[in-house]
Structure 1
Amino acid sequence: MSLAISRLSALAERLPERVRTGYWTRLVPALALLAVATHIPSFLRPVWSPDEGYLATQARMLADGGVLYDTVVDRKPPLLPWLYEACFAIFGSVSLWPLRTLAIVAHLVTAVLLASIARGRWGNRAGAYAGALFLLLSIGLSPEDTQAATFEVFMLPAMVAAFRYAERRRWLAAGIAVALCSLTKQTGGAVLLPVLWMLFQDARRRGVRWLPAVFKIGFGFALPIALVAMILTKPKGFLFWVVTGSGDYATFGSNWLQMLGRALGNSAILLAAGLGFLLPVGHRLWLRHRGRPVPVRGESYGSSTDLWVWLASSVVAVSVGFHFFGHYYLQLMPPLVLLGVAAVCASAVRWKPVLVYSMVACTVFWGLAIFWPGQKLDQTTEVATAVAAQTTPKDTVLVWGMHPELYWLADRRPATRYLTAGFLTNYSGGKDGQKVGEQYSVSDAWQTFDEELAAKGLPEVVVDDSGTAPYQPVMIPRIESLLDTHYEVVGVTGDTVIYRLKR
């Protein structure tokens, strides 16, 4: 052991001094420790959100020979389901710890890219603070939104990379990064707006033609998407499920008061988490609004218009569909952090109070994640255990509800490609009973559903997890008839009813 240590020490001494003591050599390990520390609570639960359960169930179906956008469907792009499938193939599908680990890596990469942007604009100290502030802010929402390994987390590195490439005039790489971001979640493509803004501003300042750069961005954006759509998936299925098939899901529902409450509530939580560095931003905006001189520390730090364009595009992306779920707000964090760093760097505000507040807020959210109530997860686990006891691995199960993690926790195969009742009823969080029902389903969904049951046989167990939702069986005649004709109640857990096929 001592010999190995001495060899490692000798190897380290032979490295160039700038590598051993350089900026990134010192910063990246510190950010890595902070990323791990802030997201340790993610490993304390088997599943944090229905999105994780959906992705885990999708991955198992793909591993069993399912075809994405055919026998395995979702309204999301394919990169994250494939990542789940790859992790399950290597580490097994019993636990999500590999995905949680990769989520921490994604946060770290995002922090490093933000540090690079801030360092190039405002110096070494600003770069370090930008990376650290992002990681402190990254858990500044409900733990179910920030500790889960879901789409927004894995979208952030490509989104920040697109902005970084654009400000360095690497237009082809920026286009590719926008494509990767969009292939993780559609709304990630909103970063294309600040990329194009920077391109046109750069062309205007330098007096050069912008058309070649636009072509590079377009080519870089189109090539990965065409590769995925035309070769790696079925083109028609990709077009429908990723692009055109979510019209009804993304419409403004009549329950606007609840949507407004969710939007304002999550905005307030995020504001509270980042108040330390957002307060200088607000102060500078207020002074400009009142026409008063804005104090500047030392030198001018340049325009932040591109950051405001980035934030505006992210706000539009968060608002698409009018759902305003908490995890959507992760997309706002990178531009907010950079705007905060810019405001602090260009004003008389010192870094110490900013960091102290951010660390205190982060500690509060970290503790919240540790002690987050688990009654719903306990009920879901209890139901999954009962389902596993009522079935064999060869049996299929139908979960009539919005919690597909039941399939994964019970380790049972879904009876249909539609893993939530939303596909068959157009229900989604925040909607009331209007435009929810059989007639509002995804195109041809009920025909496909009937064909699947005819081909595979009726599921051994049906779990009615609808509670009092507007898609409960008494409001959906086909499901009500299926249960009345072929099933009997064998268990009730909370508001969840378990049915088993009649003998």
Structure 2
Amino acid sequence: MRTLAPVSAPRTGTGYWTRLLPPLALLACVTRVPSFARPLWNPDEGYLAVQARLLAAGGRLYETVVDRKPPLVPWLYEAAFALTGAESLAAVRVLAVLAQLATAALLAALARRRWGDRSGRTAGVLYLLLSVGLNPEDAQAATFEIFILPGTAAALWCADRRRWGAAGAAVGCAFLAKQTGAAVLLPVLWLCGAHRGPLLRLAAGALLPVLAAALATDPAGFLFWTVTGSAAYASFSGSWTHVVLRALGNAAVLAVACAALPPLLRHRTPGRADLWLWLAASAAAVGTGLHFFGHYYLQLLPPLTLLATAALSTLPPARTARTLLATACCCTLFLTWGLLAPRGWLDHSRRLADAVARSTAPEDRVLVWGMHPETYWLAGRTPATRYLTAGLLTNYSGGRSGSRVGAQYAVPGAWTAFHRATTAHPPALIVDDSRGAPYAPRRLPALRRLLAARYAERETVDGAVLYVRVR
């Protein structure tokens, strides 16, 4: 296989990074300003906040609390809470800014090595301008995809420099942020083959952080919750129309942010095969499970940035300026959207959390039966079970119809663990926040019997019904 060679371009190392990093840091802060404007952006942040609080109290991931995700991001939340307290996500927002800055800097370094100093500056700025180009609930949230991106960029950066062990470790870290982060392995393998690199060293580098994380948690639980136990979620059941509309809708939103890029992507530039592979692998990651949530699309941005930068490296500087100006205008629109976006679901969660706090004592355990785990965090109450949403107990997720939602489609063993937890420590309050969804208690005999035997309806808040324990 022919060895790749970066496009030769003059580079002047003196003071390059001291001049570039401060503007990139400022731009990273500006593009993340809306993220500080509200306590939560989506339920994933709420899920992570509850997980981190439980871990800080001595809980163990995949035992005390479970999720179908690797442990890196819950650990980051836990570390942030240890520094600043669990009442605010401000420290997590700062980590997200740093993650975006690191991604931009790594892309700049990769572009500079291949196409010269000007391309390095272009890549760093272009990425940060594109990074907000989704619904604010997806772009501004400090969730899994944001923390995938530095690992994926680092993997390509290391592979481009033939540092195969480090490239593998970066792939492993991307996987530990979220499983789809491993998609970057495809272009890394391609570069390894092109440069005749040691595949064993790459594999060892990728496995080392993953094995360390498994040993730091529960190896069997880690394997189940991150790999083997996600088949039901990754398979499709539900409304095809809903899924297609969501996929096209989020793609259209991203297309607005990337409006200046299509002509550049059609431009023929040598040495981009690994970048196209990266884009294809990231697109496959977006489609995994056929859910097409907006935040999945963030993985497309680093390869899109580098492909556009490669084309601009062969065009006059004026073309680069026009591209950056057009993208900056789109970025401004998305930032304005982020500052003015409605907060309907968050207002509901706040009102519900206030009612939960009024109806229980701080030491009480509570069961919120719904898909908004942030209620626990906002109310300052401990979940009654290790399942923070109804999804793991019913296979419900966005886009599903009621055809494959129910107790029979739950994660194996979930209802046994649920019964054990609610029997040993009966929740002082059960909140039915299903509001007509397919996972409503009336469709689940076990939950319906629990409510009938021990609980009485107390009040209704925004359609959610609160039940207090009476025996």
Report whether the alignment pairs 1:495 with 2:444.
no
Report whether the alignment pairs 1:225 with 2:216.
no
Report whether the alignment pairs 1:432 with 2:425.
no
Deviations 1:410-432 (A, max 9, x none): 00000000000011101111111
Structure 1 segment 316-395 matched on structure 2, within 5 A:
316-347=284-315, 350-395=319-364
Residue aligning to 1:11: none
Distance (whole Å) between structure 1 residues aligned to residue 78 and residue 353 of structure 2: 22
Residue aligning to 1:109: 102
Report whether the alignment pairs 1:419 with 2:412.
no
Alpha-carbon shift at residue 347 of structure 1 (Å): 4.0
Deviations 1:110-150 (A, max 9, x none): 00001011111111111111111111111100101111110
Distance (whole Å) between structure 2 residues aligned to residue 77 and residue 426 of structure 1: 19
Residue aligning to 2:3: none
Counterpart code for 1:317: A
Residue aligning to 2:223: 239
Report the secondary structure of 1:94's partner residue.
coil
Report the secondary structure of 1:111's partner residue.
helix
Report the secondary structure of 2:148's partner residue.
helix
Report whether the alignment pairs 1:270 with 2:242.
no
Alpha-carbon shift at residue 302 of structure 1 (Å): 2.8
Distance (whole Å) between structure 1 residues aligned to residue 183 and residue 150 of structure 2: 14
Alpha-carbon shift at residue 67 of structure 1 (Å): 1.3
Distance (whole Å) between structure 2 residues aligned to residue 483 and residue 105 of structure 1: 46
Deviations 1:339-390 (A, max 9, x none): 1111222346711221111111000000000000012211110110110011
Residue aligning to 2:5: none
Alpha-carbon shift at residue 488 of structure 1 (Å): 2.3
Counterpart code for 1:393: P
Contact persistence 1:271–1:278 (CA under 8 A)? no
Residue aligning to 1:206: none
Report the secondary structure of 2:233's partner residue.
coil
Residue aligning to 1:58: 51
Report the secondary structure of 2:232's partner residue.
coil
If the length of structure 2 is used for normalisation, what is the TM-score? Answer: 0.95
Contact persistence 2:393–2:410 (CA under 8 A)? yes
Residue aligning to 2:7: none
Alpha-carbon shift at residue 177 of structure 1 (Å): 0.5
Counterpart code for 2:370: G
Residue aligning to 1:37: 30
**Number of equivalent positions:** 459
Report the secondary structure of 2:227's partner residue.
helix
Report the secondary structure of 1:434's partner residue.
helix
Contact persistence 1:80–1:151 (CA under 8 A)? yes
Contact persistence 2:369–2:390 (CA under 8 A)? yes
Contact persistence 2:238–2:399 (CA under 8 A)? no
Residue aligning to 1:484: 452
Deviations 1:157-193 (A, max 9, x none): 0110001111111111100100011111111011111
Distance (whole Å) between structure 2 residues aligned to residue 114 and residue 277 of structure 1: 17
Report whether the alignment pairs 1:89 with 2:82.
yes
Distance (whole Å) between structure 2 residues aligned to residue 138 and residue 502 of structure 1: 51
Distance (whole Å) between structure 2 residues aligned to residue 219 and residue 326 of structure 1: 33
Alpha-carbon shift at residue 484 of structure 1 (Å): 2.6
Contact persistence 2:238–2:402 (CA under 8 A)? no
Distance (whole Å) between structure 2 residues aligned to residue 308 and residue 280 of structure 1: 13
Distance (whole Å) between structure 1 residues aligned to residue 344 and residue 143 of structure 2: 22
Distance (whole Å) between structure 2 residues aligned to residue 101 and residue 226 of structure 1: 28
Report the secondary structure of 1:462's partner residue.
strand
Counterpart code for 2:200: F
Contact persistence 1:278–1:336 (CA under 8 A)? no
Distance (whole Å) between structure 1 residues aligned to residue 333 and residue 452 of structure 2: 49
Residue aligning to 2:365: 396
Distance (whole Å) between structure 2 residues aligned to residue 31 and residue 470 of structure 1: 46
Report whether the alignment pairs 1:138 with 2:152.
no
- Which stretches in structure 1 are left out of the alignment for 5+ residues? 1-17, 204-209, 285-293, 295-300
Report whether the alignment pairs 1:406 with 2:375.
yes
Residue aligning to 1:447: 416
Distance (whole Å) between structure 2 residues aligned to residue 324 and residue 62 of structure 1: 30
Distance (whole Å) between structure 2 residues aligned to residue 356 and residue 176 of structure 1: 36
Using the TM superposition, name which of 238-247 and 352-361 deviates more.
352-361
Counterpart code for 1:84: Y
Residue aligning to 1:288: none
- Which stretches in structure 2 are left out of the alignment for 5+ residues? 1-11
Distance (whole Å) between structure 2 residues aligned to residue 140 and residue 465 of structure 1: 31
Alpha-carbon shift at residue 482 of structure 1 (Å): 1.9
Residue aligning to 2:264: 280
Report the secondary structure of 2:434's partner residue.
coil
Contact persistence 2:183–2:285 (CA under 8 A)? yes
From 273, 277, 282, the equivalent of 1:305 is 273
Distance (whole Å) between structure 2 residues aligned to residue 280 and residue 227 of structure 1: 42
Report the secondary structure of 2:70's partner residue.
coil
Residue aligning to 2:118: 125
Counterpart code for 1:449: F
Please list every run of at least 4 consecutive aligned residues from structure 1 whose deviation after the TM superposition is greater than 6 angstroms: none
**Greater Rg over alpha carbons, structure:** 1
Distance (whole Å) between structure 2 residues aligned to residue 162 and residue 379 of structure 1: 41
Distance (whole Å) between structure 2 residues aligned to residue 356 and residue 371 of structure 1: 23
Distance (whole Å) between structure 1 residues aligned to residue 38 and residue 463 of structure 2: 22
Contact persistence 1:397–1:460 (CA under 8 A)? yes
Residue aligning to 1:12: none
Distance (whole Å) between structure 2 residues aligned to residue 280 and residue 192 of structure 1: 25
Report the secondary structure of 1:491's partner residue.
strand
Counterpart code for 1:201: A
Distance (whole Å) between structure 1 residues aligned to residue 156 and residue 264 of structure 2: 23
Alpha-carbon shift at residue 60 of structure 1 (Å): 1.0
The alignment's C-alpha RMSD in Å is 1.4
If the length of structure 1 is used for normalisation, what is the TM-score? Answer: 0.89
